[in-house]
Amino acid sequence: MRAPPDTNAGTSDEAIARAFARGLIYRLIGQTFQPPDAAWPARMIAAAREARTNAREAAATLFPAHGVGAALASALAAIGDDPLPARAAALQPALFGHVAGGEAPLYETEYGSLTLFQRPQVLADLAGTYRAFGLAPAPRMAERPDHLAFECEFMYVAAFKEAWALAHEQGEQAAICLGAQKLFITEHLGRWAPSFAARLAAAAPESLFARVAELLAAIVRADGDALGAVVGLPTLLVNCEPEPETPDACGPIDADVHADADGFGGLDPAATVPVPLVANLHAGA
């Protein structure tokens, strides 16, 4: 299990603790919404245990205005009480669909008024952002780069890089990581996370997934305020939903939009800031 990074004289302990806690929270969310396989419950429970040990107290004190502490406590309680494999098997198809769709799609490009030309551009931008932070494909996660689990894992890695840079008095590198998170919230995760969380709350209000999505919405709002990022509205529509009072349904989705893209499985050794804290990503993928 990780411990919070050591700090040096002249660094801000609060800034390091905040970045470290944010990273653990995003990691927990990302693990929760990964496509379930035989090892999925163990990965999520391990992430919850780590967040409980190293982020719960910080979440309650460092994010007072957005209910992050209460949302984290609620998510941790749900993970502790839920019969994970059975509940996931029962809810996943209806809530998230098999590829895309469902009550609350897990893919960024399913939200908003994106055209068939804009969606591949978003996917390419995400892939380039991941590569810039040394994130390499993982064969076991054959998913598009706009999957929620990947976007949360990017925020986890960027926050941990920020914490590492602050702890080692590398202010310029910390600023790069912080700027990347602000841009990512504005252009990607923050745009659709509130809508995703609202849709899950309506579809399965007492479920583990809704509790963790509430945590996602809370941490994104907190980051939006802290970083000066723009966060979207919970009323953002899914692409195939007609606008109110508009009878037209969506047409077929371009096949290119659904081209598979691998998930994260490693850090490039030449990444901007080394992240010795990130143990669940395999080096040299």
**Residue 170 corresponds to which tokens in the numbers above?**
């590398």
**Residue 91 corresponds to which tokens in the numbers above?**
């809810």
CA atoms of 205 and 1, how far apart (whole Å): 32
| pLDDT value of residue 137 | 63
| pLDDT value of residue 85 | 53
| Residue 192 and residue 232 in contact, taking contact as beta carbons nearer than 8 Å | yes
Look-up of token digits 């583990």: 208
| pLDDT value of residue 204 | 87
Pairing relationship of beta strands 135-142 and 262-267 according to DSSP bridges = antiparallel
CA 153 to chain centre: 5
CA 38-157-2 angle, 5° bins? 70
**What tens-digit pLDDT sequence spans the chain (285 residues)?**
455 444 333 358 999 999 999 999 999 999 999 887 788 888 888 999 999 999 998 998 888 888 999 999 999 998 876 556 556 556 666 677 665 667 889 999 999 988 888 999 999 999 999 999 999 767 777 789 999 999 999 999 999 999 999 999 999 999 999 999 999 999 999 999 999 999 999 988 888 899 999 999 999 999 999 999 999 999 999 876 544 443 333 333 232 322 233 345 433 333 444 343 333 333 333
User: Residue 238 pairs with which residues in a beta bridge?
Assistant: 111
Half-sphere exposure of 285 (CA within 13 A, CB side): 19
- Cα dihedral 64/8/134/119 (nearest 10): 20
| pLDDT value of residue 253 | 29
DSSP state, 170?
-
Domains contained in the chain, CATH given: 13-244+252-267 (1.10.3480.10)
- For 114, the 3-state DSSP assignment is coil
DSSP state, 82?
S
Residue count of the chain: 285
* 238 phi/psi in degrees, rounded to 5: -75, 150
| Residue 123 and residue 261 in contact, taking contact as beta carbons nearer than 8 Å | yes
pTM over the 0.75 mark: yes
